[in-house]
Amino acid sequence: MSRKATPFPYKGFKSNLQHRAVARALASWRDKSEKGLKEASDSANWSVAKTSMLQNAACPISEFDVAILALVYRVDNQTRAAVYHGAQRARDPQAYDRLPGAEECVGWTYGDVAAEASHIRIVATDAFPHVVRTAGYTDALQKYYSDNTALRQCHQYSGAAHDHITRNLFQQASLNLHLVISEALLRCVVGSAPVVVDQLVWLMELAHRPNIEIQVVPNSAGRLAAASSFSIMTFREDRFDDVIYIENPHGATWLEIEEVREPYAIIFDRIAEGALSTEDTLEQIAEAVQALQATIAET
C-alpha cells in the first residue's frame, strides 16, 4: 500500500529580500561552525528538514529560531542581534522601518541576490553593470567613486557571490543575461582608453554566448534619455518574486512590491524593442573600439 505524499506545509510562501538575508546569515553561521545539518538540528532539538528550510529561505524564520541557532553555532551577541532584528523586519519591512529607533538588521548586496538569479535584465546608462565588468574597468570605476561610501557599500560583491555568478553565467550557463546599454556608454572613458577597449572587447566575446544577449540603443532613439540604470532579477524558486534594483552614483534602491515593479518590466521591453540587433550591436561596439584605439595611437 503506497503512502500518500505529505503536502508541503509552506506552499505559496513568499520570501522577501530581508527574509533571504536572514536565511543567508543562518547558512553562513553553520558553515563557519563546521557543523553538519544533523548535528546542528539535533542541538536545536528539531528536524534536519527545518534547519535546511530555514537556511534556504523556504519557510518563515522567527526570532526564536535565530536565537536558538545563535546558541548552537556560538555566535556573538552583536552578530546575533542584526539577524534577530532581520527576522522581525522580514515580517513587514515597511512597518518595521516606520518604528522610531528601529534596530539595524542584517543586509544584502547586489552580488548576494544576483548569485541566486536565473535571469537578469539590465538597462545600463552610466556604467557597465557588475556582471560584465572586467577587473580593470572595476578598479577604474572604484577609483572614480572612491569618495562615495554609499556606492561602495551597496554595489560590493563578496568573493563567494562573484564566484557563484561567474559559474552560473559561464560554466553552467544557468543564468541568462539580457543587457541593454546606451550608445554613449561605449565612448565614455573610465580610467583610460585602454581600460575601456578591454571592456568593449570582453562585451563582444560575451555577446556570442547563447545565454547572453547584448543590445545597444543608438543615440538617435532617445529612449534612454530619462532612464536610470536598473536590473530586473528573476528566480527559479516560486517563493522568490522578481526584484528590481535601481542604481545611481549615490546609492541604490530595491523594489519588491508587484505594482511598483511592473512599470520597469514594461520600460525594459520598450527599450529593448528600440535597440539594435545583436549583429548591429557588435558593429557599433567594434566601431567604438576602433575609435578608442585611434585615440590611443595619437597619444
Pair (93, 137) in one structural domain: no
Pair (151, 66) in one structural domain: no
Pair (86, 226) in one structural domain: no
Q: Of 63, 97, 131, which closes a domain?
A: 97
Q: Is 207 among the domain residues?
A: yes
What is the phi/psi pair of residue 230, to 5°? -155, 160
What gap in Å lies between CA 274 and CA 182, rounded to an integer? 11
pLDDT at 191: 85
Looking up residue 26, the CATH number of its domain turns out to be: 1.10.260.40
Pair (130, 77) in one structural domain: no
Looking up residue 157, the CATH number of its domain turns out to be: 3.30.870
**Contact (Cβ atoms closer than 8 angstroms) between residue 221 and residue 284:** no
What gap in Å lies between CA 233 and CA 131, rounded to an integer? 12
Pair (253, 122) in one structural domain: yes
**Contact (Cβ atoms closer than 8 angstroms) between residue 155 and residue 252:** yes
Q: Could you give the 3-state DSSP secondary structure of residue 191?
A: coil
Q: Is 119 among the domain residues?
A: yes
Domain that holds residue 221: 110-298
**Contact (Cβ atoms closer than 8 angstroms) between residue 140 and residue 192:** yes
Pair (64, 123) in one structural domain: no
pLDDT at 295: 86
Q: Is 12 among the domain residues?
A: no
Q: Is 103 among the domain residues?
A: no
**Contact (Cβ atoms closer than 8 angstroms) between residue 170 and residue 208:** no
Pair (81, 154) in one structural domain: no
First to last CA, the chain: 82
Please report, for residues 5, 9, 251, the alpha-carbon distance to residue 2 in angstroms, rounded to integers and kept in the order given. Answer: 9, 21, 56
Q: Is 244 among the domain residues?
A: yes
Q: Of 97, 130, 154, which closes a domain?
A: 97
Q: Of 73, 97, 121, which closes a domain?
A: 97
Q: Is 281 among the domain residues?
A: yes
Please report, for residues 31, 117, 268, the alpha-carbon distance to residue 25 in angstroms, rounded to integers and kept in the order given. Answer: 10, 18, 32
User: Residue 179 region, left (φ>0) first, then alpha (ψ -120 to 50), else beta?
Assistant: beta
Q: Is 105 among the domain residues?
A: no
Pair (76, 117) in one structural domain: no
pLDDT at 220: 77
Each residue's pLDDT expressed in tens, for the chain with a length of 299 residues: 444 545 557 778 999 999 999 999 999 999 999 999 999 999 999 999 999 999 999 999 999 999 999 999 999 999 999 999 999 999 999 999 999 999 999 999 999 999 999 999 999 988 898 899 999 998 888 887 764 444 444 456 777 888 889 899 888 889 999 999 999 999 889 889 999 999 999 999 999 999 999 999 998 766 555 567 899 999 999 999 999 999 766 678 999 999 999 999 999 999 999 999 999 999 999 999 999 998 888 87
Pair (152, 288) in one structural domain: yes
pLDDT at 143: 80
Q: How many domains does the chain have?
A: 2
pLDDT at 158: 72
Pair (190, 263) in one structural domain: yes
pLDDT at 31: 95
Pair (65, 126) in one structural domain: no
pLDDT at 249: 62
3-state helix, strand, coil in the chain (%, to 5): 55, 10, 35
Q: Is 136 among the domain residues?
A: yes
The predicted model scores a pTM of 0.88
Pair (186, 243) in one structural domain: yes
pLDDT at 149: 45
